[in-house]
Amino acid sequence: MIIVIAVVSLGFVGYLVLPAMDITAQEQPEVFVTHSGAVVQTTGDVLDPVYTIQEVEFDPQKYLREFDYGEVSQLEDGTILREFTIIAEDDKIMEIAPGIFYNVWTFNGQVPGPTIRATEGDLVRIHFTNNGSKEHTMHFHGNHPAEMDGIFEIVGSNGGQFTYEFIAGPVGVHPYHCHVMPVEEHIGHGLYGVFIVDPKDARQQADEMVMVLNGFDTDFDGENNLYAANTIPYYYQHHPIQINTNELIRVYVVNMVGLDPINNFHLHGTLYEYYPTGTDMVPSQFTDMTTFSQSERGILEFEYEYTGRYMFHAHLTEFSEKGWSGLFYVKDSSQPNMEVYAYGS
């Protein structure tokens, strides 16, 4: 049993923002479940965002395979138009680990922001509103006119608006992020996401997923305290990603960890074909470990022959032991999805 006491929780490294609470002791203990699935019982105030503060709801399992193709229409010349609405906010609180709360800055209420997806040659139109208290922008990696670069077109706080419009390209996986100075602060708080540009001739059918590698400096000393794939440390270790044997898996990986110059991705039990940035249709490597610098990204493709549990993680011990670790649960395609025991539990 884990005992959580409100006063002790103030000692967690992190950004704690709590409303006024009734500090009168409860007669009956309350029970809730942490991110790791542990049942927590306490007779003190429950420091859980469901009960005590405004919560940013984020489901890494849902985010993994969720793609936003926008509102689609066709122009007179036959060009496909994809329109998206993105809203920036900077006043949200998120429980990134049990008992650790962080002031996240969000695109559409989540970190990372939505995975925007288009086909090369599509016209992308993004209606951006800044509902935050600070200035923000959206900067896309890829091809676009200078006036759409999100550097000098500062969008004012409390309702400022701007429309980004450009032709999707080049093919590949690209990050987008706020580019207001100090950029490290805006990215560090969560203003980033993934932009996928598909080739006109579609890639081979696969089970596709997105993994954004991120880190959190929870005590603001210039060093990350927690690391993750898709925001919640250890999430996929406690909730393994279920995939099928002999099925092509395609993972779009984007490294958005700041403060650390490099990160990497190591896969157990098989090797993957690696496409740096995804701009070339021919893989450059067949490997089980790839190193990424800040904002570097690529596409991983692989299959598993054997069923079972296989780890994927940073092959940097500090990163993997501070949250950047997960599991694939490989099953026969005839098996239904099921509860899986986590590594280390």
Q: What single-letter amino acid sits at 30?
A: E
* Token representation of residue 92: 């949200």
As a whole number of Å, the CA-based R_g of the chain is: 21
Residue 178 labelled as part of a binding site: yes
Residue 186 labelled as part of a binding site: yes
Whether residue 156 contacts residue 76, with contact meaning beta carbons closer than 8 Å, is answered with no
At residue 183, the 3 state secondary structure works out as helix
H or E element: which one contains 320?
helix 317-320
Q: How many helices (H) and strands (E) does the chain have?
A: 6, 22
Whole-number Å distance between alpha carbons of 7 and 294: 37
* Token representation of residue 213: 């590698």
Residues in the chain: 345
Calculate the alpha carbon distances from 86 to 35, 106, 124, 128 in Å.
28, 10, 13, 5
Instruction: Count CB neighbours of 224 within 10 A.
Output: 21
Among 126, 104, 74, residue whose Cα is nearest residue 232: 104
Residue 139 labelled as part of a binding site: no
Among 175, 176, 173, 229, residue whose Cα is nearest residue 203: 173
At residue 257, the 3 state secondary structure works out as coil
102 CB-near residues (< 8 Å, 6+ apart): 14, 15, 93, 94, 95, 96, 216, 218
Instruction: Count CB neighbours of 72 within 10 A.
Output: 11
CA 90 to chain centre: 17
Whole-number Å distance between alpha carbons of 314 and 229: 10
Whether residue 175 contacts residue 217, with contact meaning beta carbons closer than 8 Å, is answered with no
* Token representation of residue 23: 């500090």
| Binding site listing | 136, 141, 177-178, 186
| Binding site listing for Cu cation | 136, 141, 177-178, 186
